[in-house]
Structure 1
Amino acid sequence: MAVLAPLLFIFLVLGLNSINGDTDPSDVSALVAMYQSMSSPGQLTKWSSSGGDPCGDSWKGVTCSGARVTEIKLPSLGLSGGIGFQLSSLTSVTDFDVSNNNFGNQIPYSLPPNVQRLNLAGCGYTGSLPYSISQMASLRYLNVAHNQISGQLPDMFGQLPSLSNLDLSSNLFTGDLPQSFSLLSSANNMYLQNNQFTGSIDVLANLPLKTLNVANNKFTGWIPSQFRNINFLNDGNSWNSGPAPPPPPGIPAPEGGGQTRQPSGGITPSASGSNGGRKKSGISGGAIAGIVISILIVAAFIVFILLKRRSKKSTDIEKTEPRSLPPVPPQQDSIQDSSMVNTKSVDPPPVINLNLKPPPMDDNNISFDDIDNDFTAKPIVVPKKQSVAPPDATSYSIADLQIATDSFNGDNLIGEGSIGRVFRAQFEDGKVVAVKKIKPSVLHGQLSEDFIDIVSDVSRLRHPNVTELVGYCSEYGQHLLVYEFLKNGSLYDFLHLLDEYSKPLIWNSRVKIALGTARALEYLHEVCSPSVIHKNIKSANILLDSELNPHLSDCGLARLVSDADQEENVGSGYSAPEVSMSGQYTIKSDVYSFGVTMLELLTGRKPFDSSRTRAEQSLVQWATPQLHDIDALAKMVDPALKGLYPVKSLSRFADVIALCVQAEPEFRPPMSEVVEALVRLVQRANMSKRTVSLEQGSAVRTRDQDSPRES
């Protein structure tokens, strides 16, 4: 009985807790936000926009274990609108299914982090897959079929070892399959049909697949032999016919008669490809190196002979007796530095330095012709890899853009920065875009191929909070970038150019803008490889869409910013102290600039304002000492908010700012930690009824301009 008594007590406590059904507050908050984001939630019986007890009251589609929500299943209910931006707080949810509804827009970044089954099929989603999916280590089933998700698949599948069922079918995906697909070690069923994928499917060859459907795409190459014994559907592609070519000398063919071709062009043996102790055949690496060295020596010798012959004809020019050139020692034949310049020397004998430069576009061969009539050899032309037009960016003609912008009329000018002017452009079909006309001085004499390389790099940046590059133009010495058009302008406009007809940003919108911008930087710094340093984070480069979702612009264009422009940025108030001293930018410099932008959101002040007293001209210097003083903090808040903000949320916002604007870069947090802090801030926000009601009323009056919802 002594043992049974405490067990009975525990049972009664747990039983009463289950009966009371007190749902975890963070789960309640997330479900309420989800309900509020929907436009037609009438099917959700017992759900409420003012709280409640989802577990105890048995909200439709909600399953609980104890006080935590574990499943949300709302398929085919005719729901529309959005699904909220607090789903990441549903840490116990393992099954999330909102398929076959009418949500549209982009899949939200915030999703249940520990979900095992995620079904977002048939919801009309556009845009791209959110990178938060890449962090779902427990994910086993992912279905986003029958949407309108477009662009190239991000290389984000490396941390999903449990994913066994993946359905991406019937979307608008383009480009090659990501290399991280090869790490899906549990993949059994994969459905990629009815998209526009290109390239080969070799990256899937060694997965433990049972079913693979790649029909109706634009795949090319040979079908790997590993797919002979699985349920494989592949019609509607452009496969190479006949057997795959043999492997290069020295590399044994894989057993089974098939070859696994990697996207890099190399061929690797199959998993069981042992040579069984047989003697290796083919050319060794040392032999290949020897051949290359020999070719270089012969090439140098040919140059030497040509120079010698020309030197005999140069008597009339040099007015000296011709001199024979001694042989060049073998150790001097190798090219040491591609930046070496040609030199003319009489004594000692001339040394031939090879100056590497791009060849003509129609010539991929090395030429030794047309050597000058002195002892200086004309640079040997070494072929350079030609730039390839970005597959995901449209090439526009200058004529098309002139028509769309009314010859770049000043009436269509919507912005101007250090890189160039931005114009509103409207095509005949009604499509509106933003055209950035790059200043001729910005490219520093770079070739058009270099510009295409920049375009190619920028076009690969895909994130809901990064401004999307849709096209480019490179004609007649003109270089232009074509971006998506965001009608609400920049954050700078909202904060500093308000007129009597404008509505100021409410607190929820400011936090939402900060969080979205932080996610954009987290993507650039920690997802992209190599990391992308922005170098110009400021409110003017944060553009807002119709729902006030932030889109960071000028990403990937840092190399176009001149030294003079960088010096100008230093005086803007956004630059980190180390940039002012050394001119060197790092990802921690971006973190500092982001902190300044958050401070701008909090106070409504410009980072540097010469119209104020000297003590208040620098926003960081004035505000930093007051960030941890709650009374002083209340006086710093933007007066446009009229006191409508939650005090705790304000304090946490200030704490994040203080971390970001620290003088020492090593003490500033990575952007992933900033994102986590802002997400917690949103989750813990506990606004008063007065604040909530007034803000919601404001949102209703200006929904097109200041909606608190995040898609």
Structure 2
Amino acid sequence: MGRRRRGGGMPGAASLPLLLLAACCCCVWPRTQILVAATTDATDLTALNTLFTSLNSPGQLKGWQVNGGDPCGESWQGITCSGSSVTAIKLPSLGLSGNLGYNMNTMSSLVELDMSQNSLGGGQAIQYNLPTAKLERLNLAGNQFGGELPYSIFSMNNLKYLNINHNQLQGKMTDVFSNLGSLTTVDLSFNSLTGDLPEGLSSLSSVKTLYLQNNQLTGSINVLANLPLSDLNVANNRFTGWIPSQLKKINSLQTDGNSWTTGPAPPPPPFTAPPSNRRKSPAKKDDGSSTSDGKSGISGGAVAGIIISLLVVGAIIAFFVIKRKRKSKREEHFEQHQPFTSFPSNEVKDTKPFEESTAIDVDSLASPASVGLKPPAKIERNKSFDDDDDFLSKPVARKSNTKPIKAIVYSVADLQIATDSFSMDNLVGEGTFGRVYRSQFNDGKVLAVKKLDCTVIPFQSSDDFVELVSNISILHHPNLNELVGYCMEHGQHLLVYDFHRNGSLHDLLHLSDEYSKPLSWNTRIKIALGSARALEYLHEVCSPSVVHKNFKSSNILLDSEYNPHLSDAGLASFIPDAEFQTAEQSAGCTAPEVDMTGQYTMKSDVYSFGVVMLELLTGRKPFDSSKPWSEQSLVRWASPQLHDIDALDRMVDPALKGLYPAKSLSRFADVLALCVQAEPEFRPPMSEVVQALVRLVQRANMTKKMLDGDASRRGDDQDQDFI
């Protein structure tokens, strides 16, 4: 009773310290709450952490962190939020380097992304996983991005402003515009874009400003004729043809520095359907009435088209008649000077064609009907019929690749010095295609040199190797081990790649000693997602698609941050499937259909990906002869247990010591179980695999926090933090 009376009256001297302590706690508690209960959406936070890492963790970005933090609550530099969602990233002119984050597409509320006037890209392509849901403004101008326009722009239905000027974009302009009806400003000037304008540009029904100057674009600009433009600049390109009369009415029009045709423009070609409902049909009269009202008769334009068509057919027939006469003379001359050999009549038919098309068979051109109005074959565009009279009689082994190779050319002497004459001390691995050596150059840079085995890839000529290098050099993705340079001297064929100090995933999983630090669960998921993104890029972004054929843990290289980099991309595509199957001896990684038919497909890559994910899950090799027979094949042993939670617990790599979330483990097992389905048609495409893994990696930071607080994974409180 006495204690209750003291508590209800005035405080005595003995109570003052307690009151002061309580007051301090009240002052400190709100700040503690801010630190614990972050206001930023967890998905956006993960994307910004990744972006900071991809930008090489620049110190000039105030407030930014590699892990954790609260961008909205702590007001990170350049970040604008609405509630808990990040709506804008504006970091122009800050001297930033690196690239964009691989998971920016998860930022579903982002309206504006401005990374202009920095040094981003380093010649690499723009990350294709850009935010698409609500993005209205995308400004990457004044950087060093290479490659083509990222295909993800196609999905930016709300985009109004697109600016990628003063970069190093190259190749044909990707047709990403047909879905961008809200776009008002497009600036792709001062790049190295080539080829004709894509038809999708005609769908830009709201565009007012279009800057394409200072590229290498070709063909006509007719596709722009009916756009509602008020400002158009196509200067300093390689455009030809006529400037459409509609465009001449634009207030601000710049067309200098092209090869325009003077004189009156020709009538439109006959039977041409309008490319879009928004454009006026060329088959309509000026008053809007149709010329095809059911009456017979042919318009003047149709007559002109028929005449032109007949002239084209006649020219083609005349050309081949002349060619046959020339060929007969050459054969006659050849036989006179080569009495002991005969010129085979099927020389042309058996040659390998340009552009991987069927070779021209002169004997089949017996009538105009067999020619039609199409070119006789897909002949190399830069080659003229008149450049070489022997064009049809020369066998062509492989298409000549005219694309410039953006890779360093090394001499054998350079690489011998860097590898100490390819000493065994510098040998870091030996794979399907040859040995890999660590090389250190005079400037201190460390690279990996792959010495190709000529018995696996037998190059018939130097052109074959150059074509291979060209095909590999255009593959750009943060999770690929990208080509740095090459060497072709004295019969040697060598490829130079980035060197990754943490070695291969295979070595970390299977060759680590007792002093090695085991891979944590979060790191394993990170490796799985990065590897999946690499395959997604090869399968669904590259055109044509690239089948890896050789996806295995020894080809997944890890950098200092344990980011995965898939090696050997594009190498196996140079070898026929049957020959590659003979050369590749990695038991346990290939899909069942490959073993039966010898045919590699994207679905067989998905299966191999699932096998590697099983390695990550269990710590076991794909095939281990030291195990009992029923456990030697990893897929055969693991597949029946992947949906049994108790069995799954027993399968997990003991090196994890139980430090993993049960729900995350279960969902990871569900994903890889689909990948290792015996029937190819039941395996998911890699884009679906990526999305499933994204949902796991979004909680990576929470995983670490929970595991630091409680090593147990069985409690409901922990599991609710994972998907």
Report the TM-score, using the length of structure 2 for normalisation.
0.68
Residue 676 of structure 1 corresponds to which residue in structure 2?
691
Confirm or deny that 1:559 pairs with 2:559. Answer: no
Change (3 A) 1:658 1:400: same
Distance 1:467 1:244 in 2: 47
Change (3 A) 1:527 1:82: closer
Change (3 A) 1:302 1:431: same
Q: CA shift at 1:28, angstroms?
A: 1.7
Residue 458 of structure 1 corresponds to which residue in structure 2?
472
Letter in 1 for 2:478: P
Distance 1:99 1:367 in 2: 52
Contact 2:38–2:70 under 8 Å retained in 1: no
Confirm or deny that 1:507 pairs with 2:531. Answer: no
Letter in 2 for 1:487: R
Residue 440 of structure 1 corresponds to which residue in structure 2?
454
Residue 69 of structure 1 corresponds to which residue in structure 2?
85
Confirm or deny that 1:142 pairs with 2:165. Answer: no
Per-residue CA distance 1:122-178 (angstroms, 9 max, x = gap):
8978676765444333322234568x77776883624652433345678xx655378
Letter in 1 for 2:477: H
More displaced stretch, 199-208 vs 627-636: 199-208
The one of 573, 597, 602 aligned to 1:587:
602
Confirm or deny that 1:29 pairs with 2:48. Answer: no
Residue 338 of structure 1 corresponds to which residue in structure 2?
350
SS in 2 for 1:337: helix
The one of 292, 297, 304 aligned to 1:280:
304
The one of 143, 155, 180 aligned to 2:174:
155
Contact 1:33–1:84 under 8 Å retained in 2: no
Per-residue CA distance 1:458-477 (angstroms, 9 max, x = gap):
22222222232233333343
Residue 91 of structure 1 corresponds to which residue in structure 2?
108
Per-residue CA distance 1:317-337 (angstroms, 9 max, x = gap):
99xxxxxxxxxxxxx999983
Matches within 5 A, 1:209-224: 209-211=229-231, 219-220=237-238
Letter in 2 for 1:176: T
The one of 92, 96, 113 aligned to 2:132:
113
Contact 2:92–2:114 under 8 Å retained in 1: no
Distance 2:568 2:683 in 1: 23
Change (3 A) 1:548 1:138: farther
Distance 2:117 2:582 in 1: 53
Letter in 2 for 1:627: L
Distance 2:310 2:70 in 1: 73
SS in 2 for 1:555: coil
Per-residue CA distance 1:612-668 (angstroms, 9 max, x = gap):
222221111111111111111122222222222222111111110000000000111
Q: CA shift at 1:584, angstroms?
A: 0.8
Contact 2:42–2:698 under 8 Å retained in 1: yes
Letter in 1 for 2:542: C
Q: CA shift at 1:311, angstroms?
A: 8.1
The one of 381, 389, 394 aligned to 2:394:
381
Letter in 2 for 1:139: L
Confirm or deny that 1:189 pairs with 2:213. Answer: no
Residue 8 of structure 2 corresponds to which residue in structure 1?
none
Residue 266 of structure 1 corresponds to which residue in structure 2?
none
SS in 2 for 1:517: helix
Letter in 2 for 1:446: Q
Change (3 A) 1:290 1:475: farther
Bigger helix share: 2
Residue 569 of structure 1 corresponds to which residue in structure 2?
584
The one of 644, 654, 665 aligned to 1:629:
644
Contact 2:405–2:469 under 8 Å retained in 1: no
Contact 1:214–1:233 under 8 Å retained in 2: yes
Change (3 A) 1:445 1:626: same
Distance 1:232 1:222 in 2: 16
Per-residue CA distance 1:260-304 (angstroms, 9 max, x = gap):
xxxxxxxxxx99799983551796445544444455455546666
Distance 2:475 2:61 in 1: 38
Distance 1:123 1:489 in 2: 35
Letter in 1 for 2:703: M
Residue 225 of structure 1 corresponds to which residue in structure 2?
243
Per-residue CA distance 1:7-51 (angstroms, 9 max, x = gap):
xxxxxxxxxxxxxxxxx9996212443565656699569x99477
Confirm or deny that 1:520 pairs with 2:531. Answer: no
Q: CA shift at 1:688, angstroms?
A: 7.1
Change (3 A) 1:188 1:431: farther
SS in 1 for 2:610: helix
Distance 1:76 1:294 in 2: 61
Distance 1:110 1:565 in 2: 32
Residue 388 of structure 2 corresponds to which residue in structure 1?
365
Letter in 2 for 1:338: D
Residue 449 of structure 1 corresponds to which residue in structure 2?
463
Matches within 5 A, 1:605-684: 605-683=620-698
Letter in 2 for 1:591: V
Distance 2:262 2:669 in 1: 63
Identical counterparts, % of pairs:
46
SS in 1 for 2:525: helix
Q: CA shift at 1:391, angstroms?
A: 4.0
Residue 498 of structure 1 corresponds to which residue in structure 2?
512
Residue 612 of structure 2 corresponds to which residue in structure 1?
597
Letter in 2 for 1:548: Y
Letter in 2 for 1:448: S
Change (3 A) 1:691 1:366: same
Q: CA shift at 1:119, angstroms?
A: 4.5
Residue 19 of structure 1 corresponds to which residue in structure 2?
none
Root-mean-square deviation over aligned CA pairs: 5.2
Contact 1:86–1:682 under 8 Å retained in 2: no
Confirm or deny that 1:691 pairs with 2:707. Answer: yes
Letter in 2 for 1:467: N
Q: CA shift at 1:555, angstroms?
A: 1.6
Distance 1:245 1:407 in 2: 63
SS in 2 for 1:440: coil
- Bigger relative contact order, structure 1 or 2 (CA pairs below 8 A, ≥6 apart): 1
Q: Flag structure 1 segments of 5+ consecutive residues without an equivalent.
A: 1-23, 256-269, 319-331, 341-350, 369-378, 696-711
Matches within 5 A, 1:300-339: 300=324, 337-338=349-350
Change (3 A) 1:401 1:651: same
The one of 593, 603, 624 aligned to 1:578:
593
Letter in 2 for 1:624: S
Confirm or deny that 1:544 pairs with 2:544. Answer: no
Aligned residue pair count: 604
Report the TM-score, using the length of structure 1 for normalisation.
0.69
Contact 2:106–2:131 under 8 Å retained in 1: yes
Distance 1:639 1:301 in 2: 78
Contact 1:570–1:580 under 8 Å retained in 2: no
Q: CA shift at 1:564, angstroms?
A: 5.1
Distance 2:336 2:132 in 1: 78
Change (3 A) 1:136 1:305: closer
Residue 424 of structure 1 corresponds to which residue in structure 2?
438
Letter in 2 for 1:392: K
Distance 1:317 1:191 in 2: 64
Q: CA shift at 1:305, angstroms?
A: 7.0
Contact 2:197–2:218 under 8 Å retained in 1: no
